Amino acid sequence: MTEEIIIAGFGGQGVLSMGKILAYSGIMQDQEVSWMPSYGPEMRGGTANVTVILSDERISSPILSTFDTAIILNQQSMDKFEEAVKPGGTLIYDPNGITRHPEREDIEVYQIAAAEEASNMGMNKVFNMVVLGGYLKVKPLVKMDNVIKGLKKSLPERYHHLLPVNEKAIKRGLEIIQEYKKN
């Protein structure tokens, strides 16, 4: 099994750390993983994306142009990555700030109102964990135990008191993700 994922959005949304937690979760279940960020003169507010590969085999190229799953968190990323999803693949997006919804018919599309949910929880920062939860519902490739272990590994110890709220956000994500049907 190999799963090739792109996570794309604004810098500051937690795109890179969500990818890191996912990659660590893969390590926790003895998978090969790679985490390849777009890097450049990009700061908070600019675009940020990361390619994560989880595999049972040695990973050849960590740099990809098509993906099994795209997790899209802003309009620029929708414009850039909708076409990069492999036929039969999966697109997950947060409708917040999206002006043009996905149009492809040959992929599965899911919506997750993660920004709204995180705001309701009173913790905007757990936005990325809500999204991660949604992804895990649609693609249960990593076991929840391993995600929690991965989360613990990714967070520096001084933030470990925040583990429960992150876990809660992941669980909310599992509940609120919905298949997107075009009208």
3-state SS class at 131: helix
148 is an interface residue for other proteins by CB under 8 A: no
* Shorter beta-carbon distance to other proteins: residue 5 or 114: 5
Total of residues contacting other proteins (CB under 8 A): 21
- b/e 68-98 (16+ beta carbons within 10 angstroms → b): bbbbbbbeebbebbbeebeeebbbbbbeeeb
Q: Which of residues 122 and 156 has its CB atom nearest to other proteins in the complex? A: 156
Q: Which is nearer to other proteins, 68 or 94 (CB)?
A: 68
- Residue 127, interface with other proteins (CB under 8 A)? no
Residues in the chain: 183
Q: Which of 63, 87, 106, 183 binds other proteins (CB under 8 A)?
A: 63
Q: Which stretch binds other proteins (CB under 8 A): 59-67, 69-77, 118-126, 165-173?
A: 59-67
With beta carbons less than 8 A apart as the criterion, state whether 9 and 16 touch: no
CA separation for the pair 176, 171 (Å, rounded): 9
- Binding flag, residue 85, other proteins (CB under 8 A): no
Among 5, 6, 18, 23, contact with other proteins (rule: CB under 8 A): 23
The residue from 3, 15, 24, 173 that contacts other proteins (CB under 8 A) is: 24
Residue 137 touching other proteins (CB under 8 A): no
Closer residue to other proteins in complex, CB, 50/109: 50
Q: Does 153 bind other proteins (CB under 8 A)?
A: yes
Asked if 33 interacts with other proteins (CB under 8 A), we say yes
Listed residue (126, 132, 143, 144) closest to 177, CA to CA? 132
Residue 156 in the binding site for other proteins (CB under 8 A): no
The Cα 67–Cα 91 span in angstroms is 10
Mark 133-170 as b/e (b = at least 16 C-beta within 10 Å): bbbbbbbebbeeebbbbbbbebbeeeeeeeeeebbbbb
Residues that bind other proteins (CB under 8 A): 20, 23-24, 27, 32-37, 39-41, 59-63, 65, 153-154
